[in-house]
Amino acid sequence: MITLFENYNQMSEYVASIVAEEITNNPNLRLGLPTGSTPIGMYKNLIQFDLDWSNVKTYNLDEYEGIGENHPQSYHTFMNKNLFLHVNLKKEFIHFPDKNLDTHLKQVGGLDLLILGIGHNGHIAFNEPGSSPTSATRRVKLTKETIIANSRFFGSEDEVPKWAFTMGLKTIRESKRIILIANGQDKWDIVNNCFNGDVTKDRPASVLQMHPNIEVFYAPQ
């Protein structure tokens, strides 16, 4: 299930080429997208393709609460910088999770492709250890561990938002195709445990083992 890449650039190029191919094959693609450091290379490659994004619908996995969309560390800002400002995606087709997301996705037929990153504790989106595999899209309190990890982007731990909205594990698992990407030696243990170990709530990504169409890409450096 885990595909190993020689390095981060090769993995990023390959994932971007898959997304580009999906958009070419289905101009109305409903595409789920992550933020974080891991997908930056994918976005860099993806914006080089000459693609028509005008009918693509994007669905981000999560967003902080309590900081405005224009805050430098908001996920809206991240997405504008890395993808949205570079392609002809329509503003009204950009989605971030809120209480209406699951109903909306049900009406339109779910996500066609979802790209995921993974945290060191096995979190996906802001589904922290202990999250129910059937959890809906919801408001969540961030764990101390995540606040400390994310404080590198803010001035201090105090400035990191304490709450966020996240796509739920059920919502994630209903995507037709999932690609989880991870890089760095420090991520190997969690990737290996999630996809070669037991399925457990303690490692939220492990529930994806049961997904019929999941690919896991890992690059050690």
- Interface ranges with ligand F6R (CB under 6 A): 34-38, 61-62, 117-119, 123-125
Which two tokens mark 15?
Answer: 């994932």
* Catalytic residue selected from 76, 95, 123, 211: 123
Report the DSSP beta bridge partners of residue 94: 58
Which two tokens mark 132?
Answer: 């129910």
Q: Is 88 a catalytic residue?
A: no
* Catalytic residue selected from 128, 150, 183, 211: 128
* Catalytic residue selected from 80, 121, 193, 215: 121
CB-nearer residue toward ligand F6R: 35 or 74: 35
Backbone angles phi, psi at 108, to 5 degrees: -90, -10
Q: Is 128 a catalytic residue?
A: yes
CB-nearer residue toward ligand F6R: 14 or 55: 14
CB-nearer residue toward ligand F6R: 107 or 207: 207
Asked if 139 and 65 count as a contact pair (C-beta separation under 8 A), the reply is yes
Nearest distance, CB of residue 215 and ligand F6R, angstroms:
16
Distance CA 51, CA 116 (A): 21
Distance CA 185, CA 125 (A): 21
Q: Is 121 a catalytic residue?
A: yes
CB-nearer residue toward ligand F6R: 53 or 150: 150
Q: Which amino acid is at 208?
A: L
Nearest distance, CB of residue 52 and ligand F6R, angstroms:
25
Which two tokens mark 111?
Answer: 């996500």
* Catalytic residue selected from 62, 63, 102, 112: 62
Nearest to 143 by CA among 155, 156, 159, 160: 160
Q: Is 62 a catalytic residue?
A: yes
Asked if 213 and 151 count as a contact pair (C-beta separation under 8 A), the reply is no
In this chain, which residue has its C-beta nearest to ligand F6R?
117
Nearest distance, CB of residue 142 and ligand F6R, angstroms:
11
Nearest distance, CB of residue 146 and ligand F6R, angstroms:
7
Could you count the other beta carbons within 10 Å of the beta carbon of residue 15?
23
Catalytic residues: 62, 121, 123, 128
